[in-house]
Amino acid sequence: MRYIPLTAATYREHRARFRQHMEKGGLAIFHSNDIMPTSADGTMPFKQATDILYLTGIDQEETVLLLFPDAVDPKDREILFVRETNEHIAIWEGAKFTQAEARELSGIPTVLWTNAYDATIKRLAPQAEHLYLNSNEHLRQGNEVETREERKNKELRAMYPLHGVKRSAPIMHRIRSRKTQEEVAQIQRAIDITGKAFRRVCGFVKPGVKEYEIEAEITHEFIRNGSRGHAYTPIIGSGYNACVLHYITNDMVCNAGEVILMDFGCEYGGYASDLTRCIPVSGRFTERQRAVYNAVLRVQREAFKLLRPGVMMADYHKEVGRIMEGELINLGLLDKAEVAKQDPERPLYKKYFMHGTSHFLGLDVHDVGLWNEPIAEGMVFTVEPGIYIPAEKLGIRLENNILIGKDGNTDLFANIPIEAEEIEGMMASKAKKAVA
């Protein structure tokens, strides 16, 4: 394992949080992801289902978790199933978790091989009043491929049609939205590695470099620091490409006078980081670029102050939009009189700032959370305002990750440069070292 996992105590706490929301007689079942095929005998790299990773720490295929607080036998109240290994698997694929290793990492005393799952369900389901089945209820999900969890849910519904069915997803959204200290520390590790990659590319960028070369430098720094790679597909957009919100082809040349928008973040131990910085290809911003850059930075800093416990996300986003209006008027992009007459349902600022300011961050870069409940202490959000001016081939977005605190927020990116002068100074310093 190339990363340091959380402790068993934290995984025990996560499962205790889930159990607190279960009704009496409930049996909850969680499945790992499949290893997805490509073609011939190829497969994609395995990515664990984040809910089972959150509850157990087991980052391996064919893993199953049962939570049954009211089971007659105490040994059946938490059961973890892991794939049985053998000499053939060890030679061809590498070592898998032993039962003892899985027990130590997860903190679950009862660990069985996955081939015992079917018999165990048949034994325990008659004791249960209802089954808690998990599913992907993320606001943005749009899966066309059936997951292992969906496949197993169908089997359970067919086997036990008279059992009541409860949804695990609302519970997971609630408990995952507030991070433990160890989770915050893991996110911070991911952020620190991301900061190293940002500093690296500031010394690498110059006119004529390809966007994918910048991506390669970032990837190199991630992997050499114990990350398995990107938490999401990186955006490296120079010039006009910075105005394409989800630009990921990263195949153009970075030209003198342009600004590069870089939206990337490493994954560490399953946890994501999410950074956006904009740097001038030639090492210095023009007067206009600097004006737009500083406008975005001011909006971000005002947003930091607004993102507080008790605030509703919808109200927060509206207020950030109002602040952005003022900056766009000052930049000459909006007319004050027209803004005064605008349709409140179709604010004019959205022509230049068309996305949201913040989203939950955690095991997923767009993490699950409680969008219709007030912001609470322990949540982690991105703060990422932007201004996009296609006519000027200029897009600026700045993004930091923020931990919500009772008495004040913590900027987890505090050690990563963001001021325009800092960026220019860092690029100049690294350029001098490269020449020397």
Domains of the chain by residue range: 8-176, 181-435
Give the active site residue among 220, 224, 322, 355.
Answer: 355
Q: Give yes or no: 366 in active site.
A: yes
Is the confidence at residue 53, as pLDDT, over 60? yes
Q: Could you confirm whether 411 is annotated as catalytic?
A: no
- Catalytic one among 246, 343, 346, 407? 246
**Confidence band of 153 (pLDDT split at 50, 70, 90):** very high
Give me the pLDDT at residue 347, please. Answer: 96
Amino acid 433: pLDDT: 66
To which H or E segment does residue 182 belong? helix 181-202
Distances (CA, A) of 55 to 160, 190, 229, 250, 336: 25, 20, 23, 36, 51
384 is catalytic: yes
Residue 246 bears catalytic tag:
yes
The catalytic residue among 132, 349, 352, 388 is: 388
* Per-residue model confidence as pLDDT tens digits over 214-239: 999 999 999 999 999 999 999 999 99
163 in active site: no
355 is catalytic: yes
User: pLDDT digits over 24-47, tens only?
Assistant: 999 999 999 999 989 998 999 899
Type of residue numbered 30: F
How far from 355 is each of 35, 73, 366, CA to CA, in Å?
Answer: 33, 51, 14
Residue 430, pLDDT score: 66
pLDDT (tens digit per residue) in 300-320: 999 999 999 999 999 999 999
Say which DSSP state 115 is in.
Answer: G
Cβ 387 vs Cβ 287: under 8 Å: no
Q: What is the pLDDT of residue 91?
A: 83
Question: Residue 104, exposed/middle/buried by CB under 10 A (0-12, 13-18, 19+)?
Answer: middle
CB 55 within 8 A of CB 81: no
Q: Do the beta carbons of residue 189 and residue 416 sit within 8 Å?
A: no
Catalytic residue (choose from 41, 287, 343, 345): 41
Catalytic residue among 149, 211, 258, 263: 263
Tracing tokens 């049996």 back to the chain, one arrives at 27
Please tell me which residue in 274, 364, 367, 424 is annotated as part of the active site: 274
The pLDDT assigned to 98 comes to: 94
pLDDT of amino acid 250:
98
CATH 3.30.70.120, applies to 181-435: no
Greatest CA span in the chain, whole angstroms? 75
Q: What percent of the chain has a predicted confidence (pLDDT) above 90? A: 90
Q: What is the mean pLDDT of the chain?
A: 95
The one catalytic residue among 200, 284, 298, 366: 366
Looking at the structure, give the CATH architecture of the domain made up of residues 8-176. 3-Layer(aba) Sandwich (3.40)
Q: Check pLDDT > 80 for residue 264.
A: yes
Is 407 noted as a catalytic residue in this protein?
A: no
Does 290 qualify as catalytic in the annotation?
no
- Show the tokens assigned to 420: 């325009």
DSSP string covering 124-171: HGGG-SEEEE-----TT----SPPHHHHHHHHHHHH-TTSEEEESHHH
Tokens of 115: 């081939």
Cα 50 from Cα 223, distance rounded (Å): 21
Confidence of residue 141 (pLDDT cuts 50, 70, 90): confident
Report whether pLDDT(247) > 60: yes
Q: Which residue has the tokens 């009862």?
A: 110
In this prediction, residue 431 carries a pLDDT of: 65
pLDDT for the residue 94: 85
CA distance 1 to 227: 11
